[in-house]
Chains A and B, each alone.
Chain A
Amino acid sequence: MGTGVAEHETKHETLPARPPELAMHFDNMHQQFHSGKLGMWLFLGQELLFFCGLFTAYAVYRGNHQEMFHYAHYFLDTKMGAANTVVLLVSSMTAAWSVRCAMLEQRKGLLITLALTFLCAGAFMVVKYFEYAHKLHIGAVWGNGFHVQTADLPPELLAKYPEMTGEKLKDMGVGSFFAVYFCMTGLHGLHVLVGMGLYVWLFIRALKGHFSRRWYGAVDNVALYWHIVDIIWIFLFPLLYLIG
Chain B
Amino acid sequence: MAGGGVVKPAAHDKPRKHYLNHVKTFASWLVTLDHKRIAMMYLAAVSFSLLLGGVFAIALRTVLWNGAPAGPDSRILGATMEQFYNKMFTLHGAVMVFLFIIPGIPAALGNFILPMQLGAKDLALPRVNLLSWYLYVMGLCFFIAVLVFRGLDTGWTLYPPYSMGGGSEGQRVWLSLIFAYMAVFILGFSSILTGLNFIVTIHKLRPPGMGMYDMPLFLWALYATSLIQVLATPVIGITLGLSLIEHMFHVGIFLPEYGGDPVLYQHFFWFYSHPAVYIMILPAMGVQSEIMGTFTRKHIFGYKAIAWSSIAIAVIGFLVWGHHMFVSGQSPTAGIIFSFLTFLVAIPSAIKVFNWVATMYKGSIDLKTPMIYGLNFIYLFGIGGLTGLFLASISTNVHLHDTYFVIAHFHMVMVGSTVNAFLGGVHYWWPKMTGRMYNETLGRVGALLVFVGFNLAFMPQFVAGTRGMPRRYANYLDEFTVFNQASTIGAYILGSGIGLQVIYLIHSLFKGRKAPSNPWGAASLEWQSESPPDFHNFTKPPIVTGAYDYENWEYESEEAGWHLKQEVIDTGKTLSKVH
Contacts and interface: CB of A to CB of B under 8 A. Distances in A.
A36 interface: yes
Nearest to B123: A25
Nearest to B525: A3
A181 B264 CA distance: 17
Interface string A4-34: 1110111000000000000111100001001
A51 interface: yes
Contacts, number: 166
Chain A interface residue bracket vs B: 35 or more
Contacts of B210: 2
Interface stretch (B235-243, B380-388, B443-451): B235-243
Interface in B172-203: 192, 195-197, 199-201, 203
Nearest to B534: A8
B59 to A, nearest CB: 34
- Interface size class, chain B: 35 or more
A51 B251 CA distance: 17
A4 B252 contact: no
B121 A1 contact: no
A102 B390 CA distance: 59
B235 A52 contact: yes
Contacts of A52: 234-235, 238
A2 B245 contact: no
Contacts of A4: 120-122, 536-537
A194 to B, nearest CB: 14
Contact of A49 (B120, B235, B257, B267): B235
A5 B261 contact: no
A5 B231 contact: no
B121 A39 contact: no
A142 B249 contact: yes
A143 B249 contact: yes
Interface stretch (A40-48, A79-87, A105-113, A114-122): A40-48
Contacts of A35: 124-125, 200-201, 204-205
Nearest to A33: B204
A176 interface: yes
Interface stretch (B24-32, B145-153, B426-434, B538-546): B538-546
Given A31-B204, A42-B230, A53-B235, A143 B251 contact: yes
Given A2-B575, A46-B230, A143-B249, A8 B124 contact: no
B300 interface: no
A53 B575 contact: no
B121 A53 contact: no
Contacts of B249: 142-143
Tell which of B233, B252, B258, B537 has the most Cβ of chain A within 10 Å: B252
Most buried by B among A23, A49, A175: A49
Interface string A205-243: 000000000000000000000000000000000000000
Interface stretch (A54-62, A131-139, A157-165): A54-62
Given A4-B121, A46-B233, A143-B250, A39 B200 contact: yes
A202 B119 CA distance: 34
Given A3-B541, A5-B540, A175 B252 contact: yes
B579 A56 contact: no
Given A42-B200, A52-B235, A60-B261, A182 B206 contact: no
A143 B242 CA distance: 13
Contacts of B115: 25
B251 A2 contact: no
A192 interface: no
A144 interface: yes
A199 B414 CA distance: 44
A183 B251 contact: yes
A142 B259 CA distance: 10
Interface in B452-471: none
Looking at A50, A51, A176, A187, which has the most chain B CB atoms within 10 Å of its CB?
Answer: A50
A201 B218 CA distance: 39
B253 interface: yes
B128 to A, nearest CB: 7
Contacts of B536: 4-5, 8, 24
B76 interface: no
B347 interface: no
Contacts of A43: 196
A1 B205 CA distance: 8
Contacts of B121: 3-5, 24-25
A48 to B, nearest CB: 8
Contact of B251 (A24, A50, A142): A142
Contacts of B118: 2-3
A180 interface: yes
A26 B253 CA distance: 46
Given A46-B234, A142-B251, 13 more contacts: A1-B576, A2-B119, A3-B118, A4-B121, A5-B575, A38-B203, A39-B125, A46-B196, A53-B242, A142-B249, A175-B258, A179-B259, A183-B245
The 6 closest A-B pairs by CB, nearest first: A2-B207, A4-B121, A6-B576, A53-B238, A50-B234, A143-B252
